[in-house]
């Protein structure tokens, strides 16, 4: 049979949504290629994109439902049919609902399927039709940033479109690495900005791939110490009278208190050098440049806020932008989390949840182990107490259970206790470390076996489609289809499906989007286009209306709250009223036993844990611990040596890359490798979450998974 070529987009959670051509012969995918007529120059597939077929259609795919036969976590399973699987799931679902109440049921944060139809949202829909479920707020991505930004601006929509960066003359990429993490088409615009003459500086503990790709200046910094450098930059700017006095007077609450604090506390470059390792002269030069080269964008990634003091980092990035009058200006950047809504995004209509209780997404394991003890102090909202811990846990297209969550050894102990969570269901393509902890494993379908509507990650003038090009492998099923069967067993079939198949829902969701965006082509045409780019791009500059037209900021005071009365009233030294540096407990110097900082990052080689199962690709991008030559020499470690990395929570084994591209005293390890502990509990997979903690941050109750201390020794 002749080759057929389909256009499609990826639908993992990498921020790419890349446009790919799928070559199919005899119903089999033979290869993937880039589209020569790509209307999305900023969304070309990266190395991961080209691996989708090798990864998702490989021999390790789960092909039948599996039922646990050994102790939980043992990895012992037996295949069962779908009928039996769904009968058992329905029986557990009803039993747990009736014994412990609807709020004992939880669907975990999981983003393996970043399309409008995904197991997580669909399972919540069914639970809500059946009395509800405990829900979560916040994310593992942006917990501190998204929670703290509104304390400053009244909204998390503090981002401008990336195309505005071509107006910038100076760009400080702060804990940002889009050459690996994508962030829609950000690299495309950074390259243009560079060409247009912008100076680009990368502030990161590692000389990251973006720094290399843009041939930018690297400022090595110790993890979780950014606030100190930002304080000192503000100190210098005030000291030299370079602050935008008119902007501060007109728009900002509490700037004088901030200036006074920095002065009285002596937050000088020398003080910050001691904490961060960034030389005072470098801080001073950066401060002067940022205050005088206009417009300038201090662009934070999410890496700086996935820390114990991530809320303060977030607030400081906003404060510096205000100090220099870079807010509301094209080519400036307001800081904070930087969300930027333009075109409406397609979505499945939501069903209200009869259960009002919500936990921070990072606290699901605690909701299992000590649910009824959780209070508002833990971030529980919508209820004073939970009547029960989580007893039914659904983890669909995610690897959160035993790979992406903090402190995996503790998490394993919680999950192994079958009296705590009584029934765990995973749907995945592979027997992941998480699936091993399920009672029922259901085989899902990949992006090649199911249609879905996809969308930009943070921003974009496009909507995409992930096209079915082949029949599902084995007995694999899309979550919608088995949830519809389950709904039938619960007497909720009609309510759940409203008479629609998955295809019917895609058409309905698209029709709804067409109401808002009449230029969209008919569905059947759109389905084959891979991506549709809107004809008239919307260019948004955050807070332009506030700055140019005097529209009040959506804060309690109507001003930008550099000083936050609401935070002041909490009286918590970890999250004071001013946006200033607060040391992390597990920051540098926090322990004599574990003197090295360890920072994670999101590697080009994976989307979280996705692609780890692709052995050939993994061999091209081996997992390595980055270590500075001075730290390696002090431990007798040479490049390529196997090392044991450990702290009080766990240990892992990984070869060392000795490199000057990481700050002294800091080690770095890409997150997302598959957890693979040996008999002694030492992780041979080198998953950083064998070492991370489970204690949430002060305000957002978020995941501080980049703040870790360790010791390293040669194996």
Ligand X SMILES: Nc1nc2c(c(=O)[nH]1)N[C@H]1C(S)=C(S)[C@@H](COP(=O)(O)OP(=O)(O)OC[C@H]3O[C@@H](n4cnc5c(=O)[nH]c(N)nc54)[C@H](O)[C@@H]3O)O[C@H]1N2
Q: Which residues bind Mo ion (CB under 5 A)?
A: 141
CB 229 within 8 A of CB 221: yes
CB 498 within 8 A of CB 559: no
**Closer of 404 and 711 to Mo ion (Cβ):** 404
Pattern 293-312, ligand X, x by CB under 6 A: --------xxxx-xx-----
CB 661 within 8 A of CB 626: yes
Q: Min. distance of Cβ 304 from Mo ion in angstroms? A: 14
Q: By C-alpha distance, which of 288, 292, 290, 268 is closest to 279? A: 268
> What are the φ and ψ backbone dihedral angles of 673, each rounded to 5 degrees?
-65, 155
Q: Min. distance of Cβ 141 from Mo ion in angstroms? A: 3
Strand order in the sheet with 531-533: 452-454, 462-466, 531-533
**Closer of 608 and 701 to ligand X (Cβ):** 608
The DSSP 8-state label assigned to residue 254 in this structure reads T
Q: By C-alpha distance, which of 695, 73, 67 is closest to 420? A: 73
Tokens of 497: 């499906």
Q: Min. distance of Cβ 227 from Mo ion in angstroms? A: 22
Q: Min. distance of Cβ 458 from Mo ion in angstroms? A: 11
Which segments within 309-468 are labelled E, that is strand? Answer: 358-360, 392-396, 423-428, 440-443, 452-454, 462-466
- 299 vs 602: CA distance, rounded Å: 18
Give the burial class of 507: count Cβ atoms within 10 A of its Cβ; 0-12 exposed, 13-18 middle, 19 or more buried: middle
Residues in Cβ contact with 504 at an 8 Å cutoff, skipping those fewer than 6 apart: none
Binding residues for ligand X restricted to 359-388, rule: CB under 6 A: none
Among residues 268, 326, 369, 399, the one that binds ligand X under rule CB under 6 A: 399
Angle at 542 between CA 539 and CA 543, to 5 degrees: 125
Query: Should residue 184 be labelled a site residue for ligand X when binding is judged by CB under 6 A?
Result: no
Pattern 5-24, ligand X, x by CB under 6 A: --------xxx---------
Tokens of 555: 């804060």
Give the burial class of 494: count Cβ atoms within 10 A of its Cβ; 0-12 exposed, 13-18 middle, 19 or more buried: exposed
**Closer of 203 and 469 to ligand X (Cβ):** 203
Among residues 181, 324, 697, 711, the one that binds ligand X under rule CB under 6 A: 181
Residue 468: which of ligand X, Mo ion, none does it interact with, CB under 5 to 8 A by kind? none
Strand 666-670 and strand 596-601: the pairing is: parallel
Query: Should residue 614 be labelled a site residue for ligand X when binding is judged by CB under 6 A?
Result: no
Query: Should residue 430 be labelled a site residue for ligand X when binding is judged by CB under 6 A?
Result: yes
Among residues 427, 467, 546, 647, the one that binds ligand X under rule CB under 6 A: 427
Binding residues for ligand X restricted to 189-248, rule: CB under 6 A: 203-206, 208, 221, 223-224, 226
Among residues 143, 327, 397, 627, the one that binds ligand X under rule CB under 6 A: 397
Q: Min. distance of Cβ 336 from Mo ion in angstroms? A: 17
Query: Should residue 604 be labelled a site residue for ligand X when binding is judged by CB under 6 A?
Result: yes
> What are the φ and ψ backbone dihedral angles of 49, each rounded to 5 degrees?
-55, -45
Residue 482: which of ligand X, Mo ion, none does it interact with, CB under 5 to 8 A by kind? none
**Closer of 168 and 399 to ligand X (Cβ):** 399
**Closer of 306 and 527 to ligand X (Cβ):** 306
Query: Should residue 175 be labelled a site residue for ligand X when binding is judged by CB under 6 A?
Result: yes
**Closer of 175 and 253 to ligand X (Cβ):** 175
Query: Should residue 429 be labelled a site residue for ligand X when binding is judged by CB under 6 A?
Result: yes
Q: Min. distance of Cβ 270 from Mo ion in angstroms? A: 36
Tokens of 523: 């569905």
Tell me the β-bridge partners of 360.
137
**Closer of 223 and 530 to ligand X (Cβ):** 223
Residues in Cβ contact with 305 at an 8 Å cutoff, skipping those fewer than 6 apart: 142, 143, 144, 145, 148, 175, 311, 313, 314, 337, 702
Q: By C-alpha distance, which of 25, 4, 14 is closest to 52? A: 14
Query: Should residue 688 be labelled a site residue for ligand X when binding is judged by CB under 6 A?
Result: yes
Among residues 157, 671, 697, 711, the one that binds ligand X under rule CB under 6 A: 671
Q: Min. distance of Cβ 460 from ligand X in angstroms? A: 14
Strand 666-670 and strand 531-533: the pairing is: unpaired
**Closer of 110 and 329 to ligand X (Cβ):** 110
Residue nearest to ligand X according to CB distances in the complex = 112
Binding residues for ligand X restricted to 111-130, rule: CB under 6 A: 111-113
Among residues 43, 468, 608, 653, the one that binds ligand X under rule CB under 6 A: 608
Residue 628: which of ligand X, Mo ion, none does it interact with, CB under 5 to 8 A by kind? none
Interaxial angle between packed helices 269-276 and 226-239, expressed in degrees from 0 to 180 and rounded to the nearest 10 = 170
- 606 vs 20: CA distance, rounded Å: 18
CB 389 within 8 A of CB 73: no
Residue 693: which of Mo ion, ligand X, none does it interact with, CB under 5 to 8 A by kind? none
Among residues 6, 52, 136, 140, the one that binds ligand X under rule CB under 6 A: 140
Q: Min. distance of Cβ 289 from Mo ion in angstroms? A: 31
Q: Min. distance of Cβ 397 from ligand X in angstroms? A: 3
**Closer of 437 and 553 to ligand X (Cβ):** 437
> What are the φ and ψ backbone dihedral angles of 707, each rounded to 5 degrees?
-100, 100
CB 73 within 8 A of CB 41: no
- 580 vs 569: CA distance, rounded Å: 16
- 332 vs 165: CA distance, rounded Å: 7
Q: Min. distance of Cβ 404 from Mo ion in angstroms? A: 9
Query: Should residue 627 be labelled a site residue for ligand X when binding is judged by CB under 6 A?
Result: no
Residue 223: which of Mo ion, ligand X, none does it interact with, CB under 5 to 8 A by kind? ligand X
**Closer of 224 and 645 to ligand X (Cβ):** 224
Residues in Cβ contact with 24 at an 8 Å cutoff, skipping those fewer than 6 apart: 3, 4, 5, 6, 30, 469, 470
**Closer of 157 and 555 to ligand X (Cβ):** 157
Q: Min. distance of Cβ 86 from ligand X in angstroms? A: 16
Q: Which residues bind ligand X (CB under 6 A)?
A: 13-15, 110-113, 140-141, 174-177, 180-182, 203-206, 208, 221, 223-224, 226, 301-304, 306-307, 397-400, 404, 427-430, 432, 444, 446-447, 599-604, 606-610, 671-672, 688-689, 692, 705-706
């Amino acid at each position: 049979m002749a080759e057929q070529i389909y256009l499609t987009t990826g639908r993992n959670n990498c921020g790419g949504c890349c446009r790919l051509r799928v070559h199919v012969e005899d119903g089999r995918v033979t290869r993937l290629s880039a589209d020569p007529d790509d209307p999305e120059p900023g969304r070309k597939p990266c190395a991961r994109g080209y691996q989708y077929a090798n990864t998702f259609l490989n021999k390790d795919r789960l092909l039948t439902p599996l039922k646990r036969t050994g102790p939980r976590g043992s990895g012992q399973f037996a295949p069962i049919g779908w009928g039996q699987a769904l009968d058992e799931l329905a029986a557990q679902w009803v039993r747990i609902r009736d014994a412990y109440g609807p709020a004992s049921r939880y669907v975990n944060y999981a983003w393996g399927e970043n399309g409008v139809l995904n197991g997580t949202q669909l399972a919540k829909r069914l639970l809500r039709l059946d009395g509800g479920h405990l829900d979560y707020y916040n994310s593992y991505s942006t917990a501190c940033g998204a929670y703290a930004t509104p304390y400053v601006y009244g909204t998390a929509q503090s981002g401008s479109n990336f195309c505005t960066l071509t107006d910038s003359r100076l760009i400080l990429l702060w804990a940002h690495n889009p050459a690996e993490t994508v962030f829609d088409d950000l690299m495309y615009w950074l390259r243009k900005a560079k060409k247009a003459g912008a100076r680009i500086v990368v502030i990161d503990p590692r000389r990251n791939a973006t720094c290399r790709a843009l041939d930018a200046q690297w400022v090595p910094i110790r993890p979780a110490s950014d606030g100190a450098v930002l304080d000192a930059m503000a100190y210098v700017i005030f000291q030299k009278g370079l602050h935008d006095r008119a902007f501060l007077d007109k728009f900002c609450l509490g700037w004088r208190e901030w200036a006074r604090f920095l002065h009285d506390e002596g937050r000088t470059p020398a003080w910050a050098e001691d904490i961060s390792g960034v030389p005072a002269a470098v801080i001073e030069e950066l401060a002067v440049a940022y205050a005088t080269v206009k417009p300038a964008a201090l662009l934070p990634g999410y890496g700086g806020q996935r820390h114990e003091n991530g809320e303060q980092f977030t607030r400081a990035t906003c404060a510096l932008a205000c100090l220099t009058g870079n807010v509301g200006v094209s080519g400036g950047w307001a800081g904070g989390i930087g969300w930027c809504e333009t075109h409406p995004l397609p979505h499945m209509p939501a069903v209200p949840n009869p259960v009002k209780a919500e936990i921070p997404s990072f606290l699901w394991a605690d909701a299992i182990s000590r649910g009824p003890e959780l209070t508002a102090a833990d971030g529980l909202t919508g209820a004073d107490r939970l009547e029960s811990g989580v007893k039914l846990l659904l983890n669909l297209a995610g690897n959160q259970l035993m790979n992406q969550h903090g402190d995996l050894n503790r998490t394993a102990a919680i999950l192994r206790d079958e009296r705590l969570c009584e029934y765990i269901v995973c749907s995945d393509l592979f027997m992941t470390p998480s699936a091993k902890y399920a009672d029922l494993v259901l085989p899902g379908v990949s992006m090649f076996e199911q249609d879905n509507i996809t969308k930009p990650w943070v921003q974009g003038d496009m909507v995409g489609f992930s096209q079915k090009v082949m029949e599902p492998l084995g007995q694999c099923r899309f979550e919608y289809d088995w949830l519809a069967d389950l709904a039938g067993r619960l007497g909720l079939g009609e309510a759940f499906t409203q008479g629609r198949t998955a295809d019917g829902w895609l058409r309905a969701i698209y029709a709804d989007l067409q109401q808002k965006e009449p230029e969209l082509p008919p569905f059947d045409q759109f389905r084959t286009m891979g991506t549709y780019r809107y004809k008239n791009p919307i260019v948004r500059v955050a807070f332009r209306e506030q700055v140019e037209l005097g529209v009040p900021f959506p804060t309690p005071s109507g001003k930008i709250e550099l000083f936050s009365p609401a935070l002041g009233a909490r009286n918590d030294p970890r999250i004071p009223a001013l946006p200033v540096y607060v040391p992390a407990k597990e920051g540098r110097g926090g322990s004599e036993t574990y003197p090295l900082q360890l920072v994670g990052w999101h590697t080009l080689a994976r989307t979280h844990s996705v692609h780890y199962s692709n052995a050939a690709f993994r061999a091209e991008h081996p997992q390595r611990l980055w270590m500075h030559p001075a730290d390696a020499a002090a431990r007798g470690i040479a490049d390529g040596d196997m090392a044991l990395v450990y702290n009080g929570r766990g240990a892992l084994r990984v070869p060392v890359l000795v490199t000057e591209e990481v700050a002294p005293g800091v080690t770095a390890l890409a997150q997302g490798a598959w957890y693979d502990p040996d008999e002694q509990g030492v992780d041979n997979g080198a998953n950083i979450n064998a070492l991370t903690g489970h204690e949430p941050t002060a305000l957002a109750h978020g995941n501080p998974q980049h703040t870790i201390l360790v010791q390293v020794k040669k194996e």
